Chain A
Amino acid sequence: MYIICCFYAISIYAQDSDETSATFRLSEIALLDLSPGNATVTLNVGAPTDAGEKAQIVATNNDKWIHFSSAVFPGNSRSISIQMELGQKAPPGIYLKLNTANYSGSGKNNFGTPKWDKSLTSVTSVVTLTDEPQTIISNIKGAYTGNGSNDGYKLTYELEIYQYELLDFDQSATLSIILTLTDSNSI
């Protein structure tokens, strides 16, 4: 009996524990930028070289890359929308269009998908820009795209002539394009 009690006492006191804690607080992140910077994209409609041919559209530096870093609460997601500044519109007879390619680069995780994602056929999505916001990439969760010259979503601006008789070759317009990374709160 005494031996048992003795061993019992030993077993009780042969170890002891204490504890502390460590806490890591992560914040929401929503950072967006364009590469190469905010340099102007220039798109020109030129006269046809031969009679009977279409007008020529000449683009200079018409590619941009979207980079973003995003951290979201569980179940949330974000999207990127694009629009012209309020009240702006393309010159008569012309559509300003934006082509969003699929993601490429060195980033990680849930980059989202272009609005009309046709990744299986490598077809990219195209929107006609207005002064109303239009989603071009959705379902972005925790992700970073990378920050290199070929990281992220490649945007290509294009002009499309939809009505030749409205064209005025002496007219030009400077348009400001706004990209916004917003919470979608989709689950």
Chain B
Amino acid sequence: MKIFILIIFMIISNVLFSQSIKVETKKNIEWFETIPVSDIIEAGNDYGGADTGTYTSNRDQTEITIKSKKHNRTVVKIRKEYNGNWPQNLDLQIRRTDNYNRDSNDGLIFQTITDVDNVFFYTTGNQKNVPIQYRIKGISVLLPVQDYIAIIIYTVYDY
């Protein structure tokens, strides 16, 4: 009997308080940017273009889906992890590109993804396929030649 009541409590609390987040990538391909050598216009220059050393993903590179109770307010936080050294000048940024049916404007402007959880945006209830775009700044010939890999971690919390 005690175990039965315990299970009931757990189910109730699950239903009342749980939320989940699912991260899906466009066509199941994560953002992989091979920096083209041709972006160096001439010997003596760094990577060029209108915005030097900056590369941007598709507007819907990632789509996140949040499942939560109808009026339950949640906050999505983001951080990054990486192997080895992440150059100080390499600035990985994130924003959401669609505000349809969202309840706030936060997260619409590019913000830096740091090594600790930072607020990305607040929302309420279920949100489906929120489109996410990334941007990297600071790509340069000054950086050692290698692959720089960041794991971007989304966490949804009760708020």
Contacts and interface: CB of A to CB of B under 8 A. Distances in A.
Interface in A9-57: 9-10, 13-29, 31-33
Contact of B30 (A22, A29, A109, A151): A22
B149 interface: yes
Nearest to B150: A22
Contact of A20 (B14, B23, B33, B155): B23
A10 B22 contact: no
B156 interface: yes
A6 B92 CA distance: 39
Given A15-B155, A69-B141, A23 B32 contact: yes
The size bracket of the interface on A is 35 or more
Q: Is the interface of A mostly helix, strand, loop or mixed?
A: strand
Contact of B44 (A18, A19, A152): A152
Interface string A68-91: 111111100000000000000000
A108 interface: yes
B94 to A, nearest CB: 9
Nearest to A30: B43
Contacts of A13: 13-14, 17-19
Given A13-B14, A145-B44, A21 B154 contact: no
Contacts of A152: 44
B50 interface: no
Nearest to A72: B145
27 contacts: A5-B6, A13-B13, A14-B18, A14-B19, A15-B19, A15-B156, A15-B157, A16-B156, A17-B156, A21-B31, A21-B151, A23-B147, A24-B35, A24-B147, A25-B34, A26-B143, A27-B145, A31-B40, A33-B43, A68-B43, A70-B141, A71-B144, A71-B145, A73-B145, A107-B44, A142-B144, A144-B45
Given A2-B5, A68-B44, A69-B45, A25 B23 contact: no
B134 interface: yes
Interface in B81-106: 90, 92
Contacts of B40: 29, 31, 69
A69 to B, nearest CB: 5
A74 B143 CA distance: 9
Identify which of B10, B46, B147 gathers the most chain A CB atoms within 10 Å of its CB: B46
A144 B141 CA distance: 7
Interface residues of B, number: 58
Contacts of B45: 69, 144, 146-147
A169 B152 CA distance: 73
Given A25-B35, A31-B40, A14 B148 contact: no
Contacts of B136: 22, 24
A16 B14 CA distance: 12
Contacts of B14: 9, 13
Given A10-B16, A24-B136, A142-B143, 12 more contacts: A1-B6, A6-B13, A17-B154, A20-B62, A21-B150, A24-B149, A31-B42, A67-B42, A69-B45, A69-B46, A144-B46, A144-B142
A29 B141 contact: yes
A16 B6 contact: no
A29 B34 CA distance: 13
Interface string B119-145: 000000000000000101001111111
